């Protein structure tokens, strides 16, 4: 397949002069290559080096002429993500802290499947430095909004984590720091790059985008399904977390812009490929959203949406006044939903001993002194690889 034979990459905004190299789509690379007077096939070669081999410098592109490599990196620099700290939890979950070219700290989490037979390895990916949405129960919110991550910084998390793990993640979930749909253009660009057959060739069925409820973003993602390479949208997860607007307004300010009814309408409009379901995440907050009345309202809200519900016991961090409900309450809540025909699971906290569980990601630059590049701090809390491998 040549670059020219591919469908138009997308109607994404043009990357502009000096845009980071690993964020360029095949058609954009092809345009640069042609303008540089080189044959068009160089675009495919370069793309394969960036997203298949995931080279760290242009000098590793050994079948590309040195002058072209040099011109390329002058025009479009690579912005490396440096592994800063790797923490391993007792359950084998690993939290990876990266440092960006401008010294920001972000985190990804590698989560091996508890059921080793399935051999699944999930990577939880960040989309922003910090987050703008201010959900009251989330540690990332306490950082405030730093900046959007570029598409290059998003895909780089996956490529570097693959190298660290020694294997490719089977599933990607955009459930790390940030709100992916607030950074829509870079998210979509990253999805196109990750799904491209010249690169990592991830199936959209293996990718889940989680949102706190940006309805405009959900609709854009739905419309973009033909753009992201393989003709379907990624899986959608929605952090619902309440059954009334009164409570949701209080714990998730975004609800004032798009209340529950508008959010669920967007979920109903979202195109699902065969057998797919929308995942609803529901953080269990004791005395806030965990009552029998909540459990009894939820099935009605989800009616007509092929869906499953993940109950996430609240993971604590310093600051807010929430409590995790007792295990018994969570089980009762689950049972009531189940009795009403809802597919509902309790998500066991993974990596909570290293603050790697849902809602605990808050890479703070002051947690440790900046590390010189290449000087990797490994904090072992438990054995790695976990004894199960
Ligand atoms: N901004 C996106 C992506 C982050 S996903 C979103 O909100 O979906 C992070 C998930 O963890 C969300 O479902 C969120 O509701 C949940 N979460 C946030 N803080 C949490 C905490 N302290 N304990 C458990 N889950 C939490």
Average pLDDT, consecutive stretches of 10 residues, N- to C-terminus, the chain (389 residues): 43 85 96 96 98 97 97 96 93 95 96 87 97 95 96 98 96 97 96 95 95 97 68 90 98 98 97 92 98 98 97 90 96 98 93 85 56 40 31
pLDDT of residue 164: 95
User: What number of other Cβ atoms are within 10 A of residue 158's Cβ?
Assistant: 22
Helix, strand, or coil (residue 367): coil
131 is catalytic: no
pLDDT of residue 387: 32
Burial bucket for residue 18 (CB in 10 Å: 0-12, 13-18, 19+): exposed
Helices and strands, counts by H and E, the chain = 10, 13
pLDDT of residue 10: 58
Selected catalytic residue, list 131, 135, 138, 358: 358
359, 360, 362, best to mutate for ligand 1 pocket (most atoms within 8 Å of CB) = 359
pLDDT of residue 226: 56
Q: Whose Cα sits closest to atom 1 in ligand 1?
A: 179
107 is catalytic: yes
Selected catalytic residue, list 28, 44, 107, 281: 107
Residues in the chain: 389
Sign of the CA dihedral 34, 38, 43, 49?
A: negative
Q: Whose Cα sits closest to atom 5 in ligand 1?
A: 175
pLDDT of residue 135: 96
Q: Whose Cα sits closest to atom 3 in ligand 1?
A: 175
Taking CA atoms, 249 is separated from 179, 243, 259, in Å, by: 17, 11, 8
Q: Which residue has the tokens 């854009």?
A: 220
Taking the C-alpha atoms of residue 185 and residue 22, their distance in angstroms, rounded to an integer, is: 15
pLDDT of residue 373: 39
Instruction: Identify any residues that bridge with 112 across adjacent strands, giving them in sequence order.
Output: 121
Query: What number does the ligand 1 atom closest to the CA of 174 have?
Result: 3
Centroid of ligand 1 to alpha carbon of 239 (angstroms): 7
């Amino acid at each position: 397949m040549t670059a020219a034979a591919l469908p138009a990459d997308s109607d994404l905004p043009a990357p502009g002069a000096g845009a980071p190299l690993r964020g360029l789509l095949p058609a954009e690379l092809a345009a640069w290559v042609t303008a540089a007077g080189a044959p068009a096939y160089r675009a495919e070669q370069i793309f394969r080096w960036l997203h298949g081999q995931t080279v760290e410098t242009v000098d590793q592109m050994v079948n590309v002429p040195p002058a072209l490599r040099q011109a390329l990196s002058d025009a479009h620099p690579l912005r490396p993500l440096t592994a800063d700290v790797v923490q391993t939890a007792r359950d084998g979950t690993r939290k990876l802290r990266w440092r960006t070219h401008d010294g920001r700290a972000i985190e990804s989490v590698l989560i091996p499947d508890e059921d080793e037979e399935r051999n699944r390895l999930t990577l939880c990916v960040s989309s922003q430095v910090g987050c703008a949405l201010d959900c009251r129960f989330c540690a990332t919110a306490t950082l405030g909004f730093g900046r959007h991550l570029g598409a290059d910084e998003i895909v780089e998390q996956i490529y570097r984590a693959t190298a660290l793990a020694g294997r490719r993640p089977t599933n990607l979930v955009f459930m790390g720091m940030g709100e992916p749909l607030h950074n829509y253009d870079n998210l979509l660009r990253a999805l196109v790059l990750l799904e491209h057959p010249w690169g990592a060739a991830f199936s959209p069925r293996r990718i889940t985008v989680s949102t706190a409820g940006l309805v405009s973003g959900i609709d854009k993602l739905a419309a973009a399904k033909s753009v992201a390479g393989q003709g379907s949208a990624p899986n959608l997860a929605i952090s619902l977390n309440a059954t009334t607007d009164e409570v949701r307004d209080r714990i998730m300010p975004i609800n004032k812009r798009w209340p529950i009814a508008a959010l669920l309408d967007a979920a109903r409009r979202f195109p699902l490929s065969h057998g797919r379901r929308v995942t609803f995440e529901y953080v269990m907050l004791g005395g806030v959203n965990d009552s029998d009345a909540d459990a009894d309202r939820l099935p009605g809200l989800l009616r007509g949406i092929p869906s499953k519900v993940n109950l996430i016991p609240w993971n604590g961090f310093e600051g807010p006044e929430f409590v995790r409900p007792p295990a018994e309450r969570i089980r009762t809540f689950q049972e009531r939903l189940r009795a009403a025909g809802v597919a509902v699971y309790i998500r066991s906290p993974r990596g909570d001993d290293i603050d790697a569980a849902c809602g605990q990601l808050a890479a703070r630059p002051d947690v440790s002194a900046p590390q010189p590049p290449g000087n990797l701090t490994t904090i072992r809390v438990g054995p790695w690889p976990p004894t199960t491998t």
